[in-house]
Amino acid sequence: MADAPARPAPQKPVPAKAQASGPVLAMRRLGLVRDIDLALHLPLRWEDETRLVAIGRVRDGELAQVEGVVSECRVEQRSRRQLLVRLEDDSGELLLRFLNFYPSQQKLLAVGRRVRARGEVRAGFFGREMVHPAFKAVEEGAALPTSLTPVYPTTAALPQSYLRKAVVSALARAPLSELLPADLQPTGLPTLAEALQRLHHPPPGADLPAMEDRSHPAWQRLKFDELLAQQLSQLEAQRERAQLKAPALPPLADGLRLALGAALPFTLTAAQQRVVQEIDADLARPQPMHRLLQGDVGSGKTVVAALAAATAIDRGWQCALMAPTEILAEQHFRKLVGWVEPLGVTVAWLTGSRKGKTRTGMVEQVASGQAMLVVGTHAVIQQDVAFARLGLAIVDEQHRFGVAQRLALRQKLEAQALEPHLLMMSATPIPRTLAMTYFADLDVSTIDELPPGRTPVLTKVFADGKRAQVVERIRDEVARGRQVYWVCPLVEESEHLDLQNATETHAQLGQALPGAMVGLLHGRMKAAEKAAVMSLFTQGQMQVLVATTVIEVGVDVPNASLMVIEHAERFGLSQLHQLRGRVGRGAVASVCVLLYTAPLSDTGKARLKAMAETTDGFEIARRDLEIRGPGEFMGSRQSGDALLRFADLQADSALLQQARALAPQVWAREPRAARAHIDRWLGGKAVFLKA
């Protein structure tokens, strides 16, 4: 076995003055703290400043670099102030036009100055010109660059020139040696140092198309290293979790679990039974469960969670269920209370709207252990909420919570040197390629069938001009005793977005349907007001509910047969699918109408087409991944940064497979090299994978 390289000492941050300047602060905000961070901050594109073209030889439409002497520099007032600069060489002249400029630029472009300018040449009224070219003053005979000029992702406070110098300096200092022995390195690819040098400073004649579409071997090496770091980190998280202790909670042959199963007014589907067995096996082990329960909308995840909670309670341990919104948390609360309170279980209800003595009483019930089941929003993880014996934590719609929130829930049992079992639920199925990367250390259970009696939802797409026909359809549904949702993206009028808003739609439908009760529900209402509206709609007294996306998840009204989504082109695909899932929950044939406003973007067309063609949540998720990409699909912004910057899960699936196969070998043979590789690529972001 080759000696594993020692893990490098922690790198010093990028040098900065005692009082950090604007550019240094901007670099920190971009995460460019270590030398390796700058080395891995790769260009968006490259500009060829290695050659000059005589002014007389440039052609219209050509992107060219010219050099000449300024023969005229003047400010001209037309419809707006413009700076016009005439540049001449021995072969001809060219006009440089600046529509926005500063006095310092005007000074730099004074008559007699030698200037090098780069931009697209086009035919103008006064001859050929460049509009807003890149330029710099040079001395006669100044040397040309020997490599292409990189253009980096940056911010207004961080000039390209400053960033380029910082990258060059960091590349010289950063430890870029190969961490793995030769037989574990990818074959046919350059070394890391070679790949970075090629991408930061490509030579003239470099294969720019391959570099720009990221198929170049240099990019392949970086993608492979990034995927390997991610897979190594997942394995490390998995191994660390295996060392943790959790209460062993094997199901009892009798007790609450048995009583709950007998009291349910329906029979579990085969998929639900299979998933229950998988969760039971996890709970029986003294290591913490870390499982994702996924299933399409309406597949029956809540009852599976309830049976898991009953198993924990049977063994004398508390269960906490956390949902992202009060409406969803209340739906869970009502359903679970109806199931378990008759069986003698005290359920606590914790949300942000619970104040004063009511909340204090609930917190005391949780701390004493009197409340064995705790349901709520993020209020469940507030500092003053202490559990007597938390054995199982259930997080619904887990992607809606940030990493820190999920970690905080797991840490509620730290005082007893134990971790609770963690069950995460999602109605947004995870495509396989994402599960292989973002959830490689997570066990996944899938409910892949709907309960009997569910009717497929027919989806229709209409332009906004057909609103009158849609309202007529609502009138018909109400006359048949059915109920209707109308979803709007805004609560009130916005000067910035010309969207139909909920309050205006509520008034219009109220006038158009004089015999029906039309309600309004949105996030700015007080909790009591929301509860009152939802109660009227759930009990069937309210026929039409105009709402914002607060009804996206959790609302279950079997009599609702029509869903209208206003400005559907503005919603994400998974959100549209979630909203559609609010109808078709009974035996009545249901319809979802997607109203859009033209013109549609390509993304908008793709979303609406997908919704019209399939009701399969797994196919919806696959298409959503294609449209949005993995970062947005996973809600990576919640954690502050995307975990994959370079690799594309679809285009680079072969590299992902290689990284998955290699990661266990690296940990087995070169553990220090594995940790060094993780540190190089992920730094402190590895903790995101442990939530």
CATH code at position 121: 2.40.50.140
Encoded tokens for 686: 């590895």
Residues 588 and 649 in one domain: no
Residue ranges of alpha helices (H) inside 208-287 are 208-212, 217-243, 256-263, 270-283
Q: How confident is the model at residue 9 (pLDDT cuts 50, 70, 90)?
A: very low
pLDDT-derived band at 494 (thresholds 50, 70, 90) equals low
Q: What confidence score (pLDDT) does residue 386 get?
A: 85
Residue 662 has pLDDT above 80, yes or no: yes
pTM score, whole prediction: 0.68
H/E stretch holding 573: helix 573-580
Domain interval for residue 132 = 51-144
Same domain for 440 and 321, yes or no, is: yes
Structure tokens that stand for 627 in this block:
């449209």
Whether residues 96 and 109 fall in one domain: yes
User: Do the domain assignments include residue 638?
Assistant: no
Round the average pLDDT of the chain to a whole number and report it: 84
pLDDT of residue 498: 54
Q: With 60 as the cut, is the pLDDT of residue 686 above it?
A: no
pLDDT of 178 over the 50 cut: yes
For range 505-517, the mean pLDDT: 91
In this prediction, residues 285-291 reach a mean pLDDT of: 90
> How much of the chain, in percent, has pLDDT values that exceed 90?
41
**Which domain-ending residue is among 570, 595, 614?**
614
Q: Taking the alpha carbons of 515, 517, 522, 525 in that order, is the dihedral positive or negative? A: positive
Say yes or no: 428 and 572 in one domain: no
Residues 99-111 have a mean pLDDT of 89
Q: Say what the pLDDT of residue 17 is.
A: 43
pLDDT of res. 493: 57
pLDDT in tens, 19-48: 456 888 888 888 899 999 999 999 999 988
pLDDT at 636 over 50: no
The pLDDT value given to residue 127: 84
Q: What is the pLDDT of residue 638?
A: 40
* Residue 374 parent element (H or E): strand 373-376
Residue 406 lies in a domain: yes
pLDDT band at 630 (very low <50, low <70, confident <90, very high): low
Residue at 531 is within a domain? yes
**Model pLDDT for residues 180-239, shown as the tens digit of each residue:** 999 998 889 999 999 999 999 999 888 988 999 999 999 999 999 999 998 898 888 888
- Other CB atoms within a 10 A radius of the CB of residue 340 amount to 22
Query: Could you report the per-residue pLDDT of 442-477, keeping only the tens digit for each?
Result: 788 888 887 776 777 899 999 998 999 999 999 999
How many domains, the chain?
3
Tell me: do 80 and 127 sit in the same domain.
Answer: yes
pLDDT-based confidence at residue 523 (cuts at 50, 70, 90): confident
144, 164, 188 - which closes a domain: 144
Distance CA 603, CA 612 (A): 14
Give the pLDDT band of residue 355 (cuts 50, 70, 90).
confident
CA angle at residue 157 from 156 to 163, to 5 degrees? 95
Same domain? For 529 and 564 the reply is yes
Domain boundary among 119, 144, 169: 144
- Residue 485 sits at φ, ψ, to 5 deg, of -105, 145
